[in-house]
Structure 1
Amino acid sequence: MKDLKIKNRFTAELPADLDETNEIRQVSKAVFSFVNPTPPSNPKLIHASEEVADLVGISKDEIQSESFLNVFSGKEVLAGTRPYAMCYAGHQFGNWAGQLGDGRAINLTEVEHNNSFFTLQLKGAGKTPYSRTADGLAVLRSSVREYLCAEAMHHLGVPTTRSLSLMLSGDQVLRDILYNGNPAYEKGAVVCRVAPSFIRFGSFEMLTARNELKNLKEFVEYNIKYYFPEIQGEPKEQYLQFFKTVADKTREMILHWQRVGFVHGVMNTDNMSVHGITIDYGPYGWLENYDPNWTPNTTDSQNRRYRFGNQPQIAQWNLYQLANALYPLINEAEPLEKILESFITDFDSDYKTMFLSKLGLFTSTEADDALIEGLETVLQLSETDMTIFFRNLSQIKKADSIEKAIEKIEYAFYTPAEISGSILDSWKKWFAVYLQRLQAEHPSDQERSEKMNTINPKYVLRNYMSQLAIDAADQDDYTLIDELYLLLQKPYDEQPEYEKWFAKRPDWARSKVGCSMLSCSS
């Protein structure tokens, strides 16, 4: 890693915590604190992404080096760098939580490669001033999920952080997996995450809440200077454009979540990136059966605030909090409100276009709203796998009968025997409209099918798949991690050698911890 081009823009240009002790505390008048990782006792590399290594300027050979192992496990500090943890606040489940910060994440440094900048961050590398009552460590189970999911999302075309490496720390970590008073020791692990930065909505909320307006102005201008240099004009106009750009990028990200059936599970404002990328993979999940009310997070099981169908509205709510944080620099509510109001309007328009493309319809008619609503209704009449349904929909031809069309998507039904009576009638009515609608499309069946298969993935990282890899890794078997990693690099390809993963959730996964019940415990 001798050729890494180290950049320290964040720590060189922004206000630092003057207290350099690693004691848990309230940090004021700063956006970060210097802190070193806790050295692991016996680190071991489980997996590394050659693609991400190349992205940041690390060679394939260097991945196998002792230096790579030591730096990205937290055992050694890279020469010329000063690791740090960021200070931010946030709203958690709709409630103001005050100071939060990087409680189990430590930013190693920023690097430049091929005219792009990347922040390298360790998750699970030890205590920071923001760890509150925790130890700043992470366990293997959550680390495997984060490592695989970030890369899976990237190859699905969803804006996301990336994963560089996954390592065992060699230490045991005590965790209460379901917060039910039954803690147990688990294997410790460290993931290196990569992103343009890990700046969150909560970073701005923290500064405004403490009335640190000079630092707020400096921080916003830092973001514009380095991450949104296309923004020009008078200061107030720049701040508004910054907010609009973040809102637009957030909308695009949520649109991709809905397209592939991803549920983040904990959309707190401290888990929202100004870059419009998916960060903080905790109790996430993919829709198995199509259920807009589903959330994978046990903490959210009662109110379902972060359920699949509510993600666009939550994104808007979070943007309201960012707007409130930026307001002292703008002192006008109306232009901020216009951006917020247009968020859902624009999202609804984009969602319609996206949903029609999933159906293989690339023009729009007035009747399409009813077609979409009709499908969203009929999908919920009996458990129907979202991924399999949309993928197999591409096999339907314009000349197919209604019965033939239903036969082609039948594999998506969890209980085929239920597709009878009124439920079958509803499906027949919807397919009658859909098949008629296909006649108005100009692409041939083959052209439409090929295009649909670039929009509807065949493979996603279902929770049961992750859990199988975790269970094997607990026994020192990492072959499933590697298999899933390779599979998910090409989620839109048929990959017949991996056909076994094109399958509905097995019955054993319905109630298994890690498959249906997930918490923020990591």
Structure 2
Amino acid sequence: MHAEWPNRFARLGPEFYTELPAQGLPDPHWVAQSPACAELLGMPADWASQPSLQALQVFSGNARWPGMQPLASVYSGHQFGQWAGQLGDGRALWLGELATPQGGMELQLKGAGLTPYSRMGDGRAVLRSSIREFLCSEAMAALGIPSTRALCITGSALPVRRESMETAAVVTRVAPSFLRFGHFEHFAHHGQHAALRRLADHFIAEHAPECLDAPQPVVALLARVAGQTAKLLAQWQAVGFCHGVMNTDNMSLLGLTIDYGPFGFLDGFDPGHVCNHSDHQGRYAYARQPNVAFWNLHALAQALLPLLPANPEATREAEREAAGEQLLEALEPYRERFPRALLGAMRAKLGLATAQEGDRELVDDWLRLLAATRVDYTIAHRRLSRYGAQPEALRDLFLDRPAFDAWALRYQARLAQEGSVAAEREAGMLARNPAVVLRNHLAEGAIRQAQAGDFSEVQRLLKVLSRPFDEPEQASDAGFPPDWAQHLEVSCSS
């Protein structure tokens, strides 16, 4: 791994980051590695065990490969709807970029110690939260949902206090870019318009070059981000994923799922489900996620407002009003694409090959049926995939059988309307409705074993999650959550 490790972000200037070394883990050990992520990066199969690479030390923050330039970036943002001021990489360090067939990939160490942006934190990550981020990053990628990736976790006996005393870990994260809405908000809020312009020019040149040809590249940039965010949110909602802390500083400019903290996948379908125990007002409830994303896009639009070119013939007020209207228009792709993308995803989950009148009502009524008695979301769709061959297995999930039967008659009529072939439909639905998602109890089982020094369940679960549409060998991976799972809570410390 003798790469040059360029860092395009570092070229923006010292206002954007602080360069500093990692605070490594004492006596580190491997917890897990992702073969799929390593392959994405073009790393050799034995990268983790080659003595000359010292990968364990590098990804624990104790050593660097030549050319690596650790830095922490500054950003700001809105947290739970309120302006939070300056934030930044409080426990993450950018190492640089690795050239891959997919383009440059940035690597970050999460949990490598204090930075100037740690605020009251210790800059560390604990084993529990690192396992959750590692597994979910790779699980989302296997589901086909845009996400940051995770290469590996290293651990140490170093004690770290959260609600209780835990042990430290470092997770290595991977993405084409870790830039967030909050990066733009930071420089706009502080009136650093020259830096704001450099950031926009950098992002467009490196990640959205098609915007250069637009009459207003900044407006095109916002429209692009809005469209990608709409697609991402539709995928989240369709799979039953709850992010838990959709602050603007946790929103990726590339439309990636980023910052896995108090996330969760729905068990029983509850549109009002709040997965984050710290979210006392329910701002980030499952059903509210699409509107929160749109709110966050408005915050990004506000941050971009100073970048629109001035019109010397207009008054300052009129000029600002016109610029604001352009940016609001750039958000329309979200309003248009999100419902269309979600309906398309739900059609696929229901095995509908064509678009017909009444599909939205059929989908909405299906979701209401699930919500009425909190039917398990993942299992219901998996059984719906086999409805033609095993209708009773699906029917048994519903307490209100007459209501299900009434909906099922409409569903069967809709399938007949397009001449659906059962075998073909089942194959397509099984490839869209996962058997396994990273439910909290599955993660918790792997965490408990890891905290006892046994990392085998982390690796086993990673393999299962890498093939989410296959029936797992261990039936419990795709089964109903155990009763004790109802008492699991995840918060911002997760």
Cα distance per residue 1:160-199 (max 9 Å; x no partner) = 00110111033110112xxxxxxx2101111000001110
Q: 1:213 aligns with which of 187, 193, 208?
A: 193
Q: Distance in 2 between matches of 1:442 and 1:121?
A: 50
Equivalent-residue separation in structure 2 for 1:217 and 1:328 (angstroms): 9
CA-to-partner distance for each residue in 1:376-430, whole Å, 9 max, x for gaps? 1111221210000001101122xx8xxx73x12146x3xx6xx1xxx22211211
Any stretches of 5+ residues in structure 1 without a counterpart?
A: 17-29, 177-183
CA distance in 1, matches of 2:371, 2:161: 40
The residue aligned with 1:252 is: 231
How big is each residue's C-alpha offset from its partner over 1:15-74, in whole Å with a ceiling of 9 and x where there is no partner? 11xxxxxxxxxxxxx111111110211110111112222322321222113510111000
- How far off its partner does 1:109 sit? 1.3
1:348 has 2:339 as partner: yes
Which amino acid in the other structure matches residue 293 of structure 2?
A: A
Q: 1:286 aligns with which of 259, 265, 271?
A: 265
Q: Find the counterpart in structure 2 of residue 433 from structure 1.
A: 410
> Could you tell me which of 107, 111, 125 is aligned with 1:120?
107
What does 1:183-262 align with in structure 2 at a 5 Å threshold? Answer: 184-233=164-213, 237-262=216-241
**Aligned pair partner of 2:283 in 288, 305, 319:** 305
Q: What's the counterpart of residue 433 of structure 2?
A: 456
* Partner AA of 1:366 in structure 2: E
Counterpart code for 2:259: D
Q: What is the CA-CA distance between 1:5 and the residue it aligns to?
A: 4.0
User: What's the offset of the Cα at 1:86?
Assistant: 0.7
- Residue equivalent to 1:20: none
Residue 432 of structure 1 aligns to which amino acid in structure 2? L
How many residue pairs get matched? Answer: 479
- In the alignment, does 2:419 pair up with 1:396? no
Q: Which amino acid aligns with 1:207?
A: F
Matched, 1:507 2:483: yes
Aligned residue for 2:212, secondary structure, equals: coil
- Residue in 2 that maps onto 1:60: 45
Q: Deviations over 1:293-319 (max 9, x none)?
A: 10110111x321111111111111000
Alignment of 1:112-191 (within 5 A): 112-114=99-101, 116-176=103-163, 184-191=164-171
Counterpart CA distance in 2 for 1:164 and 1:357 is 31
CA distance in 2, matches of 1:327, 1:394: 47
CA RMSD in angstroms, aligned pairs only: 1.5
2:46 alignment partner, SS class: helix
- Secondary structure at 2:209's aligned position in 1? coil
Provide TM-score, normalisation by structure 2.
0.94
What is the SS of the residue equivalent to 1:505?
coil
- Worse-superposed segment, 189-198 or 441-450: 441-450
- Rounded to whole Å, the distance in 1 between the matches of 2:360 and 2:485 is 35
The answer as to whether partners of 1:87 and 1:100 remain within 8 angstroms in 2 is: yes
Instruction: Give the partner amino acid of 1:455.
Output: R
Superposition deviation, residue 351 in structure 1? 1.5
**1:44 has 2:42 as partner:** no
Q: Which residue of 2 aligns with 1:180?
A: none
Deviation by residue 1:424-473 (Cα, 9 ceiling, x = unmatched): 22112111111111111233100011111111111101000000000000
TM-score, reference length from structure 1:
0.89
- Within the candidate set 488, 492, 498, 2:474 is matched to 498
Q: Structure 1 residue 447 and structure 2 residue 424: aligned?
A: yes
CA distance in 2, matches of 1:388, 1:61: 38
Amino acid at match of 1:197: S
* CA–CA distance in structure 1, aligned partners of residues 30 and 50 of structure 2: 10
* Counterparts of 2:387 and 2:40, CA distance in 1: 40
